[in-house]
Amino acid sequence: QVQLVESGGGLVQAGGSLRLSCGASGRTFSTYVMGWFRQAPGKQGEFVSDISRSGGTTYYADSAKGRFTISRDNAKNTVYLQMNSLVPEDTAVYYCGARRAYSENVCSSTWDYWGQGTQVTVSS
């Protein structure tokens, strides 16, 4: 069982920055692909970014590319999402998730664990 806890959300003006953190319990953090998702009220949840177990491979949604950076510190069991140049469209609850990885580039087809989410609100 892996427990994920997000933090770092809040209210920020457009153009500002936030860094989200997701801490994980357990001793097997480095065996999981970690990702970030977001969901705004009345909208479908969407993928934001994820990172391979070693941190060597990252993916970003088009909306995040160039503005957001995902990273992880396996020694601290933590994944981060640095968000710069925020716009009101980024307003959402942000969730981190974990997928079991069988190798650096092969992982479960489904996300196994989810955090409770952290609210990000970007004002105009």
Please write the tens of the pLDDT for every residue from 40-59.
999 999 999 999 999 999 99
Give the whole-angstrom CA distance, residue 107 versus residue 112: 11
Please write the tens of the pLDDT for every residue from 56-98.
999 999 999 999 999 999 999 999 999 999 999 999 999 999 9
Q: Give the dihedral sign, CA 25/68/111/28.
A: negative
Q: Where are the beta strands (DSSP E) in 29-117?
A: 32-39, 46-51, 58-60, 68-73, 78-83, 92-100, 113-114
Residue 111 has pLDDT above 90, yes or no: yes
Give the whole-angstrom CA distance, residue 84 versus residue 68: 6
